[in-house]
Amino acid sequence: MAAQRRNLMQSHQSWTDDLPLCQMCGVGTAPNCVYGPDGKGTQSHTNEDGHLRFRGEDGCFLYGVFNGYDGSRVASFASQCLTAELLLGQINSSHTDNDIRRILSQAFDVVEKSYFETIDDALAEKANLSSYHLQHNEVHIDISERLKELEQEVSGGATAIVALIINNKLYIANVGTNRALLCKSSSDGQNQVLQIGRPHNTDSEDELQRLAALGVDSARVRQAGQIAGQTSTRRLGDYRVKLNYNDIDLLSAAKTKPIVSEPEIHGSQSLDNISGFLVLMSEGLITALESAHGPEQVNQEIVAMVAAELAQQASIEAAAQSVVDRVKRLHHDVYVSGRQRAVYCSRHEDMTLLIRTINYPLADGALTPTQGGRIYPVSVPYSNSQSTSKTSVTLSLVMPSQSTLTNGTNTASTLEEGTPTPGQSPTATLQSTNTQTQSSSSSSGDGSLFRQRGSQAAQPDETGRVLPYVDFSQFYRLWGSDHSDGQSTQGGLGPQ
């Protein structure tokens, strides 16, 4: 079996070629980028992320986003092997919640063991050559080159966020630092957004306590911020922290393997009568938006962008790609602006976003702004201050004709059961509260910022300009009052 896995790893064949893709899902991606002084970006390595989106039998759907590092081998292997372990007859509608959680956990364990089987021979050869090198104290160019090749072959790892839907119930399995958001429309036309699960990283109190129980100095781990070059405390692959952890200073005191591949599983969450969408994000996408705007409103911003793009794009795939493109542009724009957060935006890693709609109708692309039923995002500048802004203006002002979109706190609590009818569009405005600064922001759902126009085409005035759809005067007043430092805002931001 190990030989079969190695052959598949080295070929273009996939274990999952015959599985149908889910058509209620879209994926957007962007490669890593490093900016030069002129603002132009270059890709520093091949894309290392992976994803899966398959429809199985018996009403079963499987989705996943994998954040690879030091190569794409682990992310690619995990996406194929995990699918084979879950969708080729292992799960059916008769399974209980406990059965499914057990099968999910076992699948991750199989993926981990199977991957190390594929690199067993390379690891053995590497160990033998390294031992020879040490014993003879001689420099052999051929051996040195071969050791470099073997290290490249066996190194690398991945984090994973996986969503399984069966019997119209949602299960989330997380290993590492990716993220899952569930957006559900409530009976009063608002949307509640929940982050399902927590990141497994060096900032997590739960993870630090887990490491401390194994004998690891958690204070040193927190201060270092990384373990073997990564912030994650749970990963797939990465032989350095799995097989050779005693050689790593931070982990040398561990009683047993401290960096694990065991997933944290959440569910089941019933999706009956829900209208909304599920979002899976790679760490690269999250970090890029956090670098540009700070970590406080990332979930709210992503959901606003997804709702806006689903209302405008002709397909879920196009919506997902548009959201990723927007994050990429925002990150770049902050870097070239030279503003306060520009120092955090000199580069970004690979970005992957997966959107799965749940009874969420795409808007009619033929509608015009005055006909309603669509969301029109408006990019607005953010405060340069890190946490003291009183206005905390959201990334996108979303102006539908009906209903509102409300973003709640990041929690894994159970959602309310009240929902709108399946045909009701849950697109609407954002409301968010920052508990640290006691600030809130919202955009009105009554469309009051839109100037009214007739159905006929807009005519230019004597200067050749067309009256804008959006009136920013209220925004300029709010922004000016927060940033004037007691000075008059005349001559400042806004049209003169």
Q: What are phi and psi of 450, to 5 degrees?
A: -90, 130
Which residues lie below 8 Å from residue 287, measured CB to CB, with a gap of 6+?
348, 349
Note the pTM of the prediction, 2 decimals. 0.73
Burial 230-262 (b: 16+ CB within 10 A, else e): bbbbbbbbbbbbbeebeeeebbeebeeebbbbe
Using DSSP bridges, classify how beta strands 347-348 and 351-358 pair: parallel, antiparallel or unpaired: unpaired
One-character DSSP codes across 312-344: H-SSHHHHHHHHHHHHHHHHHHHHHHT-GGGGG
The two three-digit tokens of residue 470, written as one number: 């959006």
Peptide bond into 268 cis (omega under 30): yes
Domain boundaries, the chain: 25-358
Give CATH superfamily name and number for 25-358: PPM-type phosphatase domain (3.60.40.10)
Q: Rounded distance, CA 113 to CA 281, Å?
A: 25
How many alpha carbons lie under 13 Å from residue 384 in its C-beta half-sphere?
11
Give me the tens of pLDDT residue by residue for the chain, a chain 496 residues long: 445 444 544 444 566 777 899 999 999 999 999 999 999 999 999 999 999 999 998 889 999 999 999 999 999 999 999 999 999 888 989 999 999 999 999 999 999 999 999 999 999 988 888 877 666 666 667 788 888 888 889 999 999 999 999 999 999 999 999 999 999 877 666 778 999 999 999 999 999 999 999 999 999 999 999 999 999 999 999 999 999 899 999 999 999 999 999 999 998 899 998 899 999 999 999 999 999 999 888 999 999 999 999 999 999 999 999 999 999 999 999 999 988 999 999 999 999 999 999 998 776 643 433 333 333 333 333 333 333 333 333 333 333 333 333 333 333 333 333 333 344 433 333 433 333 322 333 333 333 333 344 444 556 666 666 666 666 677 677 767 666 654 444 444 444 4
Residue 350, Cβ density class (10 Å: 0-12 exposed, 13-18 middle, ≥19 buried): buried
Read off the amino acid at residue 390.
K
Cα(93)–Cα(102) distance, integer angstroms: 15
Q: What gap in Å lies between CA 468 and CA 483, rounded to an integer?
A: 25
Work out the widest C-alpha separation in the chain, in whole angstroms: 86
